[in-house]
Amino acid sequence: MASPMRSLLTDPSRYLQSFQLFLATSTEHQCMQEFVERQLPAVIASIGNGKSTINILSVGGGAGEIDLLILSKVQARYPGVTINNDVIEPSADQIFKYKEHVAETSNLENVKFTWHEETAYEYESRMNAEKKSKKWDFIHMIQMLYYVKDVPATIRYFHSLLEAQAKLLIILVSGTSGWEMLWKKYKSSFPLDDLCSYVSSADIKRILDSAGLKYQLYELPSHMDITSCFIEGNKDGELLLDFLTETCEFSKTAPPELKRQVMEELRKPEYSEKRDGKVLFNNNLTAIVIEP
């Protein structure tokens, strides 16, 4: 019998709802902000040397919160230099929010924004069709490699667009995170489709090593409060479970045995720690900075 479980990405509005709840219950953005504040200035220290214009490409820029932080660091390093910031983002809703964030942010006079409402693969195909290979001084792919069909090819393509002093920044879940274990253990049970694949920094490291690329790793500790997942019928808990399993309405459509196993698993110390009566899921991220 065909399973009634379906991928969360087949319901974009529920996906966005669960994603926004994930951001609200986790230190996801905080730990990225900390990386941008502390480590990024050294990473971008020479990307614009001798240039009157700096070209930045954001792949999967979302609503732009982290993008704008990154831009502020580039501006601080290269005051007054013109910055072209191109954004590849398939969600019209996210682009709308990104534009709102830009409108609310001051000191962006020297930044020119261009949004491309398309996937990374569509962008690559369009550039190839137009016989264009624009080079970039900084490219970042933050929490988006799960949504590409061919991860090594995607990294290869965007890496090929780097200028001589440029950097490619990838941020995604760490090989030490609860995600890595959950996905590796249950991916055959979850309704994976073409829209999403489970990759972590451990996979990216293997890809980069086999391509002979030079890179640096930064571990970003993070957690997500999943206490509500253990309260039967709790709406937020159900949304977070959807996000964890990439399954639409997991609580209602998963076979009871699978649901029982996943719930039991999520409480284990390899996945979560208990602190002040809360269950905090290991949401550690890794930032990977790749040389040209």
Q: Which residues make up each annotated binding site for substrate?
A: 28, 283
User: b/e string for 94-121 if b means 16 or more Cβ within 10 A?
Assistant: bbebbeeebeeeeebeebebebbeebbb
> CA gyration radius for the chain?
19
Closest C-alpha among 261, 260, 231, 229 to residue 244: 229
* Binding site, annotated residues: 28, 283
**Hey, what are 30's tokens?**
């905080």
Closest CA to 265 of 174, 180, 175, 200: 180
- For residue 248, list its beta bridge partners: 6
DSSP classification of residue 195 = T
Which tokens hold the place of 169? Answer: 């920044």
Parallel, antiparallel, or unpaired for β 162-173 and 285-290? antiparallel
**CA pair distance 219, 288, nearest whole angstrom:** 9
d(CA 285, CA 223): 9
DSSP annotation of 57 reads E
d(CA 185, CA 171): 22
What sign does the CA torsion over 185, 119, 113, 50 have? positive
